[in-house]
């Protein structure tokens, strides 16, 4: 259980859902964790959960769409732990009013792109110099299965943002491969998180989503966190520029959406 022994990992959106679970799993594997979240109460709760199991973690509040706050979170990792080896750009949003192309407002588009795409860009921009100074490392950027195929239920801003994450990750991987930086995208399907639970409260939305998952259920946060663990670890040492799909078979299936 020491796949990340001696490593320092920064995880955004680590106060809840996939990010919190990943922070605890990474810590159990020996990493020291810089927990980042916009919600201080939730972020500190993740830190306490890690410490209660004997792990090491610190918290900093940050809005990943704000450049100065992203700079501060990377500095926080260096100040607390002296190095940075893993960056897991997990923070993201999916507003309920993100819908079809003609219905989605400009403000929703701007908000989603600011967090989901600009936030990942900023996370990479300011973390990469720290990764290089620490001898290299791994970047895991959360995209989505909708970066690879159109969503059955319209969500234009989210889909565009995740497609951008996937393309950007490939370019980062090529640019920094010879500087000992690996960059991979994680493409989850629907995952059982508080955000999904809120959306699934709509029975029609839930029905349309579940019918497209061959395994018939959403994924569990730990199933995504363990895929991220693989990408973060030396087990993936020859893997960069890839899209690791963990979606219950959605992208493998041929299904005609209902009207």
Using alpha carbons, select from 69, 183, 180, 166 the residue that is nearest to residue 126.
69
139 near 87, Cβ under 8 Å?
Answer: yes
Beta bridge partners of 246: 188
Beta-carbon contacts of 177 under 8 Å, excluding residues fewer than 6 positions away, are 240, 241
Which residue in the list 88, 126, 158, 176 is annotated as catalytic? Answer: 158
**Tokens representing residue 228 in the block:** 């991220």
Helix, strand and coil in the chain, % to nearest 5: 50, 15, 35
Beta bridge partners of 184: 140
C-alpha 174/C-alpha 182 separation (Å) is 9
Q: Is 20 left (phi over 0), alpha (psi -120 to 50) or beta?
A: alpha
88 is catalytic: no
Which residues have a catalytic role annotated? 158
């Amino acid at each position: 259980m020491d796949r990340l022994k001696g490593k320092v990992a920064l995880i955004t959106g680590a106060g809840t859902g996939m990010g919190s679970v990943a922070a605890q799993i990474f810590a159990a594997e020996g990493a020291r964790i810089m927990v980042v979240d916009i919600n201080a109460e939730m972020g500190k709760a993740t830190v306490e959960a890690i410490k209660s199991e004997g792990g090491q973690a610190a918290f900093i509040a940050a809005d990943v769409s704000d450049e100065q706050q992203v700079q501060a979170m990377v500095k926080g990792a260096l100040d607390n732990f002296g190095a940075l080896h893993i960056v897991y750009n997990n923070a993201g949003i999916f507003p309920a009013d993100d819908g079809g192309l003609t219905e989605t407002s400009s403000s929703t588009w701007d908000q989603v792109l600011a967090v989901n795409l600009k936030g990942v860009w900023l996370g990479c921009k300011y973390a990469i110099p720290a990764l290089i100074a620490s001898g290299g490392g791994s970047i895991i950027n959360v995209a989505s299965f909708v970066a690879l195929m159109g969503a059955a239920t319209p969500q234009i801003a989210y889909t565009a943002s995740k497609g951008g994450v996937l393309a950007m990750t490939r370019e980062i991987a090529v640019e920094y491969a010879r500087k000992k930086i690996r960059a991979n995208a994680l493409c989850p399907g629907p995952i059982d998180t508080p955000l999904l639970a809120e959306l699934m409260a709509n029975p029609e939305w839930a029905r349309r989503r579940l019918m497209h998952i061959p395994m018939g259920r959403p994924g569990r946060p730990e199933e995504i966190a363990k895929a991220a663990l693989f990408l973060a670890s030396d087990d993936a040492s020859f893997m960069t520029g890839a899209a690791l799909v963990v979606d219950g078979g959605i992208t493998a299936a041929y299904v005609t959406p209902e009207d």
